[in-house]
Structure 1
Amino acid sequence: MNPSGLDKEIILNAAEEAIRRFGPSKTNITDIAKILKVSHAAIYRHYENKAVLLEAVTERWLSRVSRPLEPIMKENNDPEAKLRCYLKTLCQNKRSSVIEDPEMFENFAILTQNSKEALSTHVEQLFAQLEEIIRKGMETGVFETDDPREMAVTVFTATSRFHYPAFAKEWENPNIESLVNSVIDLILNGVKKRN
């Protein structure tokens, strides 16, 4: 490849290919450069080091993993059904990613351990979406809380066992779907407005 035609998107594609081929721990800038048939210096013109590049790869991957949540946010369902669907989809997407894209999930898991700041945009987006659903539930008289933001963080935390990478080994439990549903039922009972 001609280095002058190199851009961040092309590098990210090659980095994903290298991660899937070698795993995130063994992937290095030279591997990515070989895939692109350029020198490693050409990569460094766009990304200052491997950590920054892998962070960019993970951010792009997370946006793809989160994409199925977007249609749920646009639906005009009642807030209870919307919150249930959102949480189930969030948990299912993360669990599916372990099976369907294990190397990229491993990259995500490594990033969550080494660079908490890198995930703040992703987590903030999830908090904002949950807050929007909860706020709508308050407006329609379905949910009751003094602070929808705090409730969004609480709901996220209560379900984290089913979507946070540190717990991925537990997702092999054959009863995982039943556990997810039980926790979601508990959450919904907790936020529903009492008559």
Structure 2
Amino acid sequence: MHAVLARKQAKIREDPELFAAHGILAAAHSSVATDHVADLLGQLTAIIADGAADGSFRAEDAEATARVVFNATAKFHHLAHAAEWHDPGIRAEVDEVCSLLLDGLHAPASP
């Protein structure tokens, strides 16, 4: 999440007009945005499924869990929150959200 957020912050900083145009185009062509989100969810699903398969995560439904993780982290990747990405406390918020999610996904040690 830190890498995603850092890349988003860099895009805004390097070319704010292009970033704004990207948001307008994404809204105008929602199928592109929908496809992008589906791709991201597929990646998250694979990560969570791999973690469940090797015993690192507990997740009965990797796809549903991926949607929860994606939605829980929206503040750090969704364009609607771009104004919040430069808040001085945003990195601490990423840590807090990720810690909570990972704690929830972590499979308990075998007895």
**What residue in structure 2 maps to residue 114 of structure 1?**
28
The 1-side partners of 2:9 and 2:104 are apart by 25
**What residue in structure 1 maps to residue 67 of structure 2?**
153
Q: Which has the larger radius of gyration?
A: 1
The 2-side partners of 1:186 and 1:93 are apart by 23
**What residue in structure 1 maps to residue 7 of structure 2?**
93
**Pair 1:164-2:86 in alignment:** no
The 1-side partners of 2:33 and 2:27 are apart by 10
2:49 to 117, 120, 135: 135
Secondary structure of the residue aligned to 1:172 is coil
Structure 2 unaligned residues grouped into runs of 5+:
none
The 1-side partners of 2:79 and 2:92 are apart by 19
Aligned partners of 1:94 and 1:163 also within 8 Å: yes
Aligned partners of 1:98 and 1:105 also within 8 Å: yes
The 1-side partners of 2:100 and 2:9 are apart by 21
Whichever residue aligns with residue 28 of structure 2, its letter is: N
The 2-side partners of 1:97 and 1:133 are apart by 26
Structure 1 unaligned residues grouped into runs of 5+:
1-86
**What residue in structure 2 maps to residue 189 of structure 1?**
103
The 2-side partners of 1:153 and 1:101 are apart by 30
**CA drift at 1:163:** 1.0
Q: Percent identity?
A: 34
Aligned partners of 1:144 and 1:191 also within 8 Å: yes
Q: State the Cα RMSD in Å.
A: 1.4
Whichever residue aligns with residue 97 of structure 1, its letter is: K
